[in-house]
Amino acid sequence: MLRTRIITAVILFFVFFSALFYLPPAGWVAFATLIASLAAWEWGGLMGGGQAQRVVMGLGSAALCVLITILQPAALGIGVGFTESAWTFGRWFYVPAVAFWLLVVPVWMLKRWRLSRSVTGFAVGLLLLLPTWLALVQLRQAGAYLLLGVMAAVWLADISAYFFGCNFGRHKLAPTISPGKSWEGAIGAGFTVIAYGFVFSSRLPNFMAHSFIWLLMAMVFFTVISIIGDLFESLLKRQAGLKDSSAILPGHGGVLDRIDSLTSTLPLAALLWFSNGFGISG
Cα 282 to Cα 280: distance, rounded to the nearest angstrom:
6
Pairwise CA distance, residues 29 & 240, whole Å: 31
The answer to whether residue 212 scores a pLDDT higher than 80 is: no
**Mean local confidence (pLDDT), 219-234:** 91
Per-residue pLDDT for 207 more than 60?
Answer: no
Tens digits of residue pLDDT in 233-281: 999 999 988 888 888 888 778 999 999 999 999 999 999 888 776 654 4
Q: Calculate mean pLDDT across residues 140-158.
A: 91
Q: How much is the pLDDT for 58?
A: 94
Instruction: Let me know the angle formed at the C-alpha of 220 by 215 and 226, rounded to the nearest 5 degrees.
Output: 125
What is the pLDDT confidence band of residue 32, given thresholds at 50, 70 and 90? very high
279: how many CB neighbours lie within 10 A of its CB?
15
Burial level of 44, CB count in 10 A (0-12/13-18/19+)? buried
Given a cut of 60, is residue 31 above it in pLDDT? yes
Between the alpha carbon of residue 2 and those of residues 7, 118, 206, the distances in Å are: 9, 38, 43
pLDDT at 159 over 70: yes
DSSP character at residue 114? P
Q: What is the pLDDT of residue 226?
A: 94
pLDDT grade, residue 211 (50/70/90)? low
What's the pLDDT at 280?
45
Q: Quick check: 11 pLDDT over 70?
A: yes
Q: Is the pLDDT of residue 7 over 90?
A: no
Residue 107 reports pLDDT greater than 90? yes
Report pLDDT for 86. Answer: 86
116 vs 238 pLDDT, higher one: 238
What is the structure's pLDDT at 281? 46
pLDDT beyond 60 at 194 = yes
Distance between CA 46 and CA 255 in Å, rounded? 13
